[in-house]
């Protein structure tokens, strides 16, 4: 039998606001435990929550970027469950009236673009962190758990996809696309390793073509895109194998074990989870009127998908457009200003994603600044197009410009890298080489094309690399056929 996998992804995005979701405690404040805490985020008796307006702007930005509908009225709910890292033993979250409703994100795998539906995006608060330690201490050598509430109450946006993802590769592409959007919006650090963006996958299988969904298993604990892809693939394979050998998939939560490369069943949090959601009485409804939504929409940056389209329209091929779109803002800005300076889009893209990105990595200046203007890069590309410098010499010119030696023209002259494009001078050099290598000339005339390279090389050497190789080529061919 052939199987179809059905995957939905839940993403938790920690917002990079200054203060927490419902209190004024600093977010991302140092490493010392319990140093960013107050009555509200510690759940002290009597404390009350008040929502952070910037966090709400952020979820609206995320929703709009993911083409979600925005609810005119939305409310917070309490999600009730006991857990040591949850100070109030309920999480302020959203239930049946989330801020953002249906939307979608287009993902491309192997050149095929697939639209993944988004179910909703809602606002909630993060939990504290618990660290399990064995300490041979208090109770008959029992271990214990240390609790730090610095993270408790940090704003989280949960984005839930529809079960419209059908392979591990698509799951990965969706996660990457989503991360790119969030990073572009600047609303989160969106770092997987640090947990500021976290992905859980709901995986099920069904006979290909079946209309109903199979039993889903929630897979957690993936902290890289690679592990997300592996975990989903593992889970698909595990379920197929299980069902084919007569077993039944049980609804459960499984942890991805990166080292062992497998998922493991977790014991559930409550005997049976019953979150007893009800509207949070400490908070009043949110009304997202048009003025608010439009204010957020107007402030949205250009999003990756739109940008890729624009790049493609301006002449880049799809994969270059993706690479450039995924590059940092300084690289993209340099690209834009280079094209504005008159350079060809493809050449500009090649330079900024190639040499200049490599330079950035090599130098690692700690700053985003690139000491090169679009005008300068456009000039450099012009020098190549006009045959004034060779492509290899151009790289040297670039280094000179980046080192602050001046504009490309100046650097090329100073470093003596201007190509010889004077036909007379090149003919003289070619003739000298042909005279010294009569055998090679005959071979070329007899149709042995590979000799051409050798002859061009000789001419380049004789001119210390300054001859325009295209011209040299033409002259040699003319002599051989003449």
Q: Which residue is at the shortest CB distance from Mg ion?
A: 158
214 binds, among another protein, Zn ion, Mg ion, none (CB under 5 to 8 A by kind): none
Secondary structure string (H, E, C) spanning 13-33: EECCCCECCCCCCECCCCCCC
Q: Does 170 bind Mg ion (CB under 5 A)?
A: no
User: Whose Cβ is closer to Zn ion: residue 25's or residue 411's?
Assistant: 25
Residue 158 binds which of another protein, Zn ion, Mg ion, none (CB < 5-8 A, kind-dependent): Mg ion
Distance from C-alpha of 251 to C-alpha of 177, rounded to nearest angstrom = 28
* Least distance (Å) between residue 289 CB and another protein: 9
Q: Are 107 and 307 in contact (CB under 8 A)?
A: no
Among 97, 109, 147, 240, binds another protein (CB under 8 A): 147
Question: Taking the complex as a whole, how short is the minimal distance between the CB of residue 205 and another protein, in angstroms?
Answer: 26
Contacts of 349 (CB under 8 A, 6+ apart): 311, 316, 320, 324, 335
Could you tell me which residues are beta bridge partners of residue 129?
148
How many C-beta neighbours within 10 Å does residue 94 have?
25
Alpha carbon separation from 19 to 58, 152, 379, 422 (Å, rounded): 13, 12, 47, 66
Q: Which of 3, 12, 54, 326 binds another protein (CB under 8 A)?
A: 54
154 token code pair? 């940090």
Rounded Cα–Cα distance for residues 255 and 222 (Å): 8
Helix (H, G, I), strand (E, B) or coil at 356: helix
Pick what 34 binds: Mg ion, another protein, Zn ion, none; C-beta below 5 to 8 Å, kind-dependent.
Answer: another protein
Q: Per CB under 8 A, does 265 bind another protein?
A: no
**Site for another protein, residues 4 to 23, rule: CB under 8 A:** 17-19, 23
The only residue of 69, 113, 145, 445 in contact with another protein, by rule CB under 8 A: 145
For the record, the structure tokens of 156 come out as 């989280």
The label of the residue with tokens 């094209």 reads: 339
| Options 6, 13, 23, 467; binder of Zn ion; rule CB under 5 A | 23
Q: How far apart are CA 356 and CA 369, in angstroms?
A: 12
With respect to Mg ion, which residue has the nearer C-beta, 158 or 184? 158
Interface pick for another protein out of 112, 267, 361, 362 (rule CB under 8 A): 267
Least separation in angstroms between residue 253's CB and another protein is 10
Site map for Mg ion, 146-165, x if CB under 5 A? ------------x-------
Report d(CA 139, CA 116) in Å as an integer: 51
Cα 415 from Cα 435, distance rounded (Å): 31
Residue 412, Cβ density class (10 Å: 0-12 exposed, 13-18 middle, ≥19 buried): buried
- Tell me the sheet residues that pair with 8: 202
Q: Which of Mg ion, another protein, Zn ion, none interacts with 32 (beta carbon under 5 to 8 A by kind)?
A: another protein
Least separation in angstroms between CB 417 and Mg ion: 59
- Tell which one of 32, 96, 259, 416 touches another protein (CB under 8 A): 32
Site string for another protein, 87-126 (x = CB under 8 A): xxxx------------------------------------
Distance between CA atoms of residues 282 and 23, nearest Å:
13
Which of Zn ion, another protein, Mg ion, none has residue 225 at its interface (CB below 5 to 8 Å by kind)? none
Interface map 30-49 toward Zn ion (x if CB under 5 A) = --------x-xx--------
Whether the CB-CB separation of 254 and 218 falls below 8 Å is answered with yes
The interface with another protein within residues 273-332 (CB under 8 A) comprises 274, 276-279, 281-287
Nearest CB to another protein, comparing residues 164 and 200 = 200
CA-based radius of gyration for the chain: 30
Number of residues forming the site for Mg ion (CB under 5 A): 1
**Please, which residues have CB within 8 angstroms of residue 24's CB and are 6 or more apart in sequence?**
38
63 binds another protein (CB under 8 A): no
Q: Which residues bind Mg ion (CB under 5 A)?
A: 158
Q: Which residues bind another protein (CB under 8 A)?
A: 17-19, 23-26, 29, 32-39, 42-56, 78, 80, 82-84, 87-90, 130-132, 138-139, 142-149, 266-267, 269-271, 274, 276-279, 281-287
């Amino acid at each position: 039998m052939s199987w179809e996998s059905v995957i939905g992804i839940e993403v938790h995005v920690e917002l990079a606001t200054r203060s927490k979701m419902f209190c004024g405690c600093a977010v991302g404040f140092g490493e010392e435990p319990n140093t960013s805490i107050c009555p509200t985020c510690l759940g002290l008796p009597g404390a009350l929550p008040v929502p952070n307006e910037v966090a709400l702007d952020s979820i609206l930005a995320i929703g709009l970027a993911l083409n979600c509908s925005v609810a005119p009225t939305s409310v917070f709910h309490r999600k009730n469950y006991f857990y040591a890292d949850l100070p109030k033993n309920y999480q302020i979250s959203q239930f049946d009236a989330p801020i953002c409703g249906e939307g979608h994100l287009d993902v491309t795998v192997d050149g095929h673009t697939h639209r993944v539906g988004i179910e909703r995006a809602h606002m909630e608060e993060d939990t504290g962190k618990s660290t399990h330690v064995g300490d041979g201490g208090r109770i008959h050598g029992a271990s214990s758990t240390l609790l730090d509430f610095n993270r408790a109450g940090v704003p989280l946006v949960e984005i839930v996809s529809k079960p419209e993802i059908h392979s591990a590769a698509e799951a990965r592409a969706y996660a990457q696309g989503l991360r790119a959007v969030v990073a572009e919006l600047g609303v989160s650090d969106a770092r997987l390793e640090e947990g500021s963006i976290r992905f859980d996958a709901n995986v099920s299988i069904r006979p290909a073509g079946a209309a109903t969904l199979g039993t889903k298993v929630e897979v957690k604990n993936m902290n890289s895109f690679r592990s997300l892809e592996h975990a989903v693939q593992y889970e698909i394979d595990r379920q197929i194998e299980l069902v084919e050998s007569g077993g039944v998939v049980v609804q459960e939560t499984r942890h991805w074990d990166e080292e062992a490369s497998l998922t493991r069943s977790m014991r559930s949090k409550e005997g049976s989870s019953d979150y007893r959601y009800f509207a949070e009485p400490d908070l009043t409804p949110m009304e997202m009127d048009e003025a608010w939504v439009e204010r957020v929409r107007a402030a949205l940056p250009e999003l990756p998908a739109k940008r890729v389209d624009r790049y493609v329209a301006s002449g880049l091929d799809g994969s270059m457009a993706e690479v450039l779109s995924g590059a940092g803002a300084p690289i993209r800005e340099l690209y834009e200003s280079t094209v504005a300076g008159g350079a060809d889009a493809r050449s500009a893209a090649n330079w900024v994603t190639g040499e200049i990105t490599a330079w950035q990595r090599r130098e690692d200046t700690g700053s985003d600044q690139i000491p090169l203007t679009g005008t300068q890069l456009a000039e450099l590309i012009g020098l190549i197009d006009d045959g004034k410098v060779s492509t290899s010499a151009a790289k040297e010119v670039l280094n000179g410009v980046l080192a602050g030696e001046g504009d490309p023209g100046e650097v090329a002259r100073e470093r003596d890298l201007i190509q010889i494009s004077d036909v007379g001078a090149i003919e003289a050099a070619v003739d000298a080489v042909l005279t010294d290598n009569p055998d090679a000339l005959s071979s070329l005339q007899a149709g042995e094309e590979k000799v051409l390279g050798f002859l061009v090389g000789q001419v380049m050497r004789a001119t210390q690399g300054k001859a325009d190789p295209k011209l040299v080529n033409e002259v040699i061919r003319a002599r051989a056929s003449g």
